[in-house]
Amino acid sequence: MSIKLAILPRTRAGLNREGLQAYLAHSHGPLVMAHGEVSGMFAGYVHHYVHDEPSTLGETLADRDALTIIRFARIEDMIASKASPAYAQIVGPDEDNFRDPVGSLAMLVSETTVLAGPENVARKLFIFRHGADAQDAQGWAEALAPILIAQGVDGPIAAWRINTIARTLEGPAPAELFDEVSLRGAIPADLADALSAAAQTYFADAPASLLITSPRIFVSSQKD
């Protein structure tokens, strides 16, 4: 089972959303990839750049402009990457150019796949389930399965994964679990209503907040 690290940086004061995303895309991401001691350990490395888009599935998670997901084949690979001289001397210090350590979040998550599909999509949706039970992933997956099957193989939802927070490495977790949804297009109103009704039934009054993003893949976790 792979190790999955989710990072939500707090944008550095004086740097707006566009500035953060441009720095990640054109400076930090390439810098990470240029140092094999760090990125050579990655089994996946994807930035998700947040953009404003209304949705009936929840309110926007405040003050977040990007989300990074890094995968490792083994916990030892994550430790080696972080402990490398290149990370300590170059990559780690560069993080201060785009993020504020106070308010930045890093979490190890465990993944439950409801619908397998491509990661190279135009849009991704992350739905954070506040107040949910961290053990709810399997039950929520079972509740989602018939809805996602009913949409058909070419429906607007290309993939759905449920991420359960296993451990926080930096800052408090923003939720107990969060959905990671690959989108082919806008979710039709009837499908959105079905998903909302299922969440209301399963999570009762637990509120949800979301991020709608465009992914930039540096290292794909999906092999041809």
Domain limits of the chain? 3-216
69 pLDDT tier (thresholds 50, 70, 90)? very high
Rounded mean pLDDT of 7-14?
Answer: 96
| 224 pLDDT above the threshold of 60 | no
Rounded mean pLDDT of 88-110?
Answer: 96
Rounded mean pLDDT of 67-73?
Answer: 97
| Residues above pLDDT 90, as percent of the chain | 77
CA distance 116 to 53: 25
Q: What CATH fold (topology level) applies to the domain 3-216?
A: Alpha-Beta Plaits (3.30.70)
